[in-house]
Structures are given as structure tokens and as C-alpha cells.
Amino acid sequence: MPLRIAAILLASIAYVGGTHWLMTRAGGSPWNVVGVLTPMLLAIAVGAWRGGQHLLGAGAALVIAGLCAQALMGVAVAPAMLYLAQHAGIHLFLAAGFGGTLRAGHTPLITTLAGRVHREFTPARLVYTRHVTIAWTVYFVAMAIASIALFAFASFDTWALFANLVTPCAMVLMFGVEYALRYRLHPEFERTSVAAAIRSYMHDDKPATPRDSAA
């Protein structure tokens, strides 16, 4: 499992670096769009298929095929707009995914993910994980708005710096702040390592529904 996590981290770093180079230095090749959008679409396709959303998975795969066909035909596109669609789109997609679980009758996403590590939940933990789900939803919306605003009113290089370098740093900061606040506000929560959380999240089995327990 550590090797799998390390491989994912290295691939993510390579993707961020490669995307930034394609955006700012590679010129106007029709294959730029394929290089930038395919990894994201492939991740969506695989995740959706494994999650039982076969129509979404097949749709993402068809878009990849369409992008490749377009590049093979040498059709030039305006890549800047597609880069914006990639960055803002994935944040809006995540905002919808997190926010959708806040509806009545649904389990907040962070509660579900925490249930992979913590099988017994106090009422305080249920409330806290709901609030964290709200915070991530707001974060993703804010990042999408910032992306669109920078694209519209700043230089493209400034936007690319925000999209490829500031964005991953902001996400790491968000994780770090949440981790620190969790045990400052709720010292009664048992501590778990980040590695344990990642291993649990990557496990193929579905998590048990978190159960209330006496505080």
C-alpha cells in the first residue's frame, strides 16, 4: 500500500508539472488539450465505473476518444478555455459532490469517509464531520470563482500559476488547518494517522454506516 500511495503522489506531481509546462511553454499543438484533460477524465471514468455510475464513466471515456480524434485530425482549438474548464470544472464538480451529500436524508461525505476509519461516532463527531463537509464545499466553490476571476482579469501566466501551483498548496493547507482544528476543538476524538486514513479510503470495501455512540 505505501508503494501505491507513493506512486499516486509521484504521478500527481508529474501531472501538475506537465500541465503547467503544456499551458505556458508547449505552443499550440492540438495534443496539448489531450495531455491536459485526459488524466482528469480518465480518473473520472475509472472512479465513476467502480462506483457503479457506468453512464458517467462511459461518457468520460467517449470524451477522451473524441479529444484524441480531434488531435489526430489536427483540429486547432483554443486551449486556454479548456484549461479553465479543467480547473474550474473539477472544483465545481467536487463542490457538487460534497454539497449534494448535505441534503436531507443523505450522509455528509466527510462523515462517510470518516466512517472508514471510525466505526463508532459520538454526536459531536457527526456534527463536526458535517461542518467539515460544508467547509470543503465552500472551499471548492471559492476556488472555482477565483479561477474564473483570474482568467478574466489577470494574465494567463498568473492564472496558470494559480491553477497549477497555488491550487495544490491551498489544498494541502486546507487539510493541515482542518487536522489542527479537529484536535484543538475536539481533543476527545481519537487520533488517526494520515496514512491510515488514506489506506482506509483506498480500500475497495464500502464503509459501514457510522453509528451514534454515547459521548
pLDDT value at residue 204: 47
> Quick check: 36 pLDDT over 50?
yes
> Quick check: 198 pLDDT over 60?
no
How far is CA 19 from its chain centroid?
A: 16
The residue among 188 and 69 whose pLDDT is bigger is 69
Q: Span 101-124, mean pLDDT?
A: 77
Q: CA–CA separation, 213 vs 113, rounded Å?
A: 18
Element (H, E) at 24: helix 2-24
Contact 138, 91 (CB under 8 A): no
Residue 74: phi and psi, rounded to 5, are 75, 25
- Strand locations in the chain (E): 120-121, 211-212
Q: Span 98-112, mean pLDDT?
A: 82
Contact 45, 60 (CB under 8 A): yes
Please report, for the chain, the start and end positions of each structural domain, with discontinuous segments joined by +: 1-77, 78-215
pLDDT band at 205 (very low <50, low <70, confident <90, very high): very low
Q: Which three cell numbers stand for residue 37?
A: 484533460
Exposure of 95 in the CB half-sphere (CA atoms within 13 A): 15
- Mean pLDDT of the chain, nearest integer: 77
3-class DSSP state for residue 36? helix
Q: Which three cell numbers stand for residue 213?
A: 455512540
Residue 131: phi and psi, rounded to 5, are -65, -35
pLDDT value at residue 133: 92
> Quick check: 93 pLDDT over 70?
yes
Flag whether the pTM goes above 0.75.
Answer: no
pLDDT value at residue 19: 65
The residue among 63 and 9 whose pLDDT is bigger is 63
**Residue 142 CB neighbour total at 10 angstroms:** 13
Contact 96, 140 (CB under 8 A): no
User: DSSP assignment of 137-164, as one string?
Assistant: HHHHHHHHHHHHHHHHHS-HHHHHHIII
Q: CA–CA separation, 187 vs 128, rounded Å?
A: 12
Angle between helices 123-153 and 167-185 (to 10 degrees): 160
> Quick check: 73 pLDDT over 90?
no
Hey, CA dihedral for 177, 117, 186, 104, is it positive or negative? positive
pLDDT band at 110 (very low <50, low <70, confident <90, very high): confident
> Quick check: 142 pLDDT over 90?
yes
pLDDT value at residue 209: 52
210 exposure class (CB count in 10 Å sphere: 0-12, 13-18, 19+)? buried
